[in-house]
Amino acid sequence: MRGAGVIVNVVAILAGTGVGLVFGRLISERFRQIAFSGIGLATFVIGAGMSIGGVAGLGESHLGDYAALVLVGSLAVGSLLGEAMRIEYWLERFGKKLQSLAVRSPILAPGRATEPGEKGHTLVEGFVTASLLFCVGAMTVLGSLQDGLGDPTLLYLKSLLDGIASIALATTLGAGVGLSVIPVAVIQGSIAAGAVAFEPLFTPAVIDAIRASGGALILAIGLDLVGIKRLPVGNMLPAIVVAAVLAGVLG
């Protein structure tokens, strides 16, 4: 069912928030870390499989020997575009601005705690932090696109990640984490709906190109999750668009 991935993602965040509020303090950090490491390894394998499968699909299409060039070209040109646009910088700056508003504003964050040792996090602060974490990234964009085209697999994986993350966040930031399902549903649902609307443009070559470049970005996320290397994936996001355009022109 199209849109199933978005629904599962919302349910996972709500469930994780509930677990975090009730049992979060009973779950030690080492168990959270090993869970993220396991999912990170799965993310790495899925990303590698997606990318290799995409390149293989491109090779079997009209692109033939140009398949590898589409992957290399999209990642190189897309990364340069993203670096020039400073996507990660602006996302980070936007996040810090929202955090500042949530923490300092007496309107957005009334009644901050004053007891010694109390963190004083507010509903809005939890909402902002979780929304930025769950809504920004290659997995959100690519997963929602694929979900709109009938393949929710990637959003199912994202749901596992978000569910575990929401447990940890709810332990410290409270129930506001659960409210992040609103932007998650709106943003991912909109991308999925857009994929449905523009489905005629998604030829087999374009879909394979998106899988190839997007899979490489998912692989990079896996590298980060398992602690091997953090790459500026945010700056590489334009690679997905460049790959789709190249495949559309050459295919």
Contacts 24+ apart (CB under 8 A), 58-61: 58/205, 58/208, 58/209, 58/212, 58/247, 61/204, 61/205, 61/208, 61/251
This prediction's pTM: 0.75
For residue 238, the model assigns a pLDDT of 92
| Sequence spans of domains, the chain | 4-94+122-250
Does position 114 have pLDDT exceeding 70, yes or no? no
Of 58-67, 91-100, 112-121, 229-238, give the lowest mean pLDDT range: 112-121
Whether the CB-CB separation of 130 and 173 falls below 8 Å is answered with: yes
Under the banding of pLDDT at 50, 70 and 90, the label for residue 127 is: confident
Does position 117 have pLDDT exceeding 50, yes or no? no
Backbone angles phi, psi at 27, to 5 degrees: -95, 115
Under the banding of pLDDT at 50, 70 and 90, the label for residue 141 is: confident
Task: Kindly write down the DSSP assignment for every residue of 79-125, as one continuous string.
Answer: HHHHHHHTHHHHHHHHHHHHHHHHHH-TTTS-S---STT-----HHH
For residue 225, the model assigns a pLDDT of 79
For residue 105, the model assigns a pLDDT of 53
pLDDT for 206-227, tens place per residue?
888 988 998 898 898 888 878 8
* Distance of alpha carbon 20 from alpha carbon 15, whole angstroms: 9
* Distance of alpha carbon 226 from alpha carbon 37, whole angstroms: 5
For residue 138, the model assigns a pLDDT of 75
